[in-house]
Structure 1
């Protein structure tokens, strides 16, 4: 009877369940610790069962990126001014990586070219091309925004602590500009990223006008 239940559970396993389990493990233990065996243990199945849904660990990592990106961009509309679409894309990607910090290393290390991710990129390219960007420049815009966001996350939260002004221990003493900048508190990831996205959009607007 136990064997029948196990067989039924194996037969009912879906790729989405596999991906969900992999995302949970990556978030809790980090992407570097991810393995097919650990995902199988999380699901209560044999490791070989997973290969009916993903051919190898690399495909599983691609599926994690696809899942996080799909979840993040679900609320982003590919209509309206290109500036808003670009900003929304960057903000949504940031929020997605906030929810799934384990995926940041995967975003930084692999292209994850799947049918779904390519459809998402194509939708962004259409918005930018309709606004006047060449196809090449439009792709570079997508890469620039993604790179800015992923870079903030790949650096880790420790970067926030290291960059935080420490006026209480006198580090800013004798440095009036630093003291003035630090007066409102540490510059966290959210503020840095928002500034970066605004600067990118402003620079892209100038480039577009010159095309």
Structure 2
């Protein structure tokens, strides 16, 4: 690339009104379209029509960019946690929002399972949640266990939902299960025919509700 073209690209980058948020939005869009492995500073710069080096003014290294990207997904679920004064409702809504956010961006799941969200904004959300829980009788350690348990369950459930895709007629699918030997598997075949227990969101909500009931019993014990 000639110096003239390099200058043109830099010039367009300056006029493009780059911001930290715009870069993160572009990174998430890139991952959604092309997968997590496609995310490099160079490919992100090309998407934004700037030199890759320009991005380092906003993120000192790729690790900082990844931290910001993980923060994008987790912080999108945080408002649901702050929307209620009831700790059970707050954690339930947070878990649901986190699961839905991850399923909207399944390519980001490897990042969600391998990199903790530790930006200042995320830490502020965690601090606020711990304050809410301890104000409601949780010892600090159990408050942190409760928040982490709900988060890990939401992430794990989203991973399974995104990766385990079985056609109804394939082995393990509902139609396949409905055709099993009824005398040997009466309950499995009935569940498959009635589509009982197959809804992912229903299962997720039931499990979260059960966790919260248990936390309620143990929070002051």
Is the TM-score greater than 0.5?
A: yes
Alignment partner of 2:22 out of 14, 17, 39: 17
**What residue number does 1:193 align with?**
204
**What residue number does 1:184 align with?**
194
Q: How does 1:38-53 map to 2 (within 5 A)?
A: 38-53=43-58
Deviates more, 1:165-174 or 1:86-95: 165-174
Q: What CA distance in whole angstroms lies between the structure 1 residues aligned with 2:110 and 2:156? A: 10
Q: For this pair of structures, how many residues does the alignment match? A: 210
Give yes or no for the alignment of 1:131 onto 2:141: no
Shift of residue 32, structure 1, vs aligned partner: 2.9
**What residue number does 1:146 align with?**
151
Alignment partner of 1:33 out of 38, 47, 65: 38
Change (3 A) 1:191 1:141: same
Q: What CA distance in whole angstroms lies between the structure 2 residues aligned with 1:92 and 1:101? A: 14
Instruction: Verify the 8 A CA contact 1:163 1:187 in the aligned structure 2.
Output: no
Instruction: Verify the 8 A CA contact 2:177 2:188 in the aligned structure 1.
Output: no
Gaps of 5+ in 2: none
Residues 159-209 of structure 1: per-residue CA shift (max 9 Å, x gap): 252764334662363311212332332614312211221111121122125
Shift of residue 148, structure 1, vs aligned partner: 0.4
Shift of residue 52, structure 1, vs aligned partner: 0.9
Change (3 A) 1:172 1:88: farther
Give yes or no for the alignment of 1:74 onto 2:83: no
**What residue number does 1:6 align with?**
9
Deviates more, 1:103-112 or 1:114-123: 103-112
Residues 113-139 of structure 1: per-residue CA shift (max 9 Å, x gap): 110111111111111111111111101
Root-mean-square deviation over aligned CA pairs: 2.3
**What residue number does 2:175 align with?**
166
Instruction: Verify the 8 A CA contact 2:27 2:69 in the aligned structure 1.
Output: yes
Give 3-state SS (helix, strand or coil) of 2:82's partner: coil
Give 3-state SS (helix, strand or coil) of 1:45's partner: coil
Residues 133-156 of structure 1: per-residue CA shift (max 9 Å, x gap): 111110111110010010012235
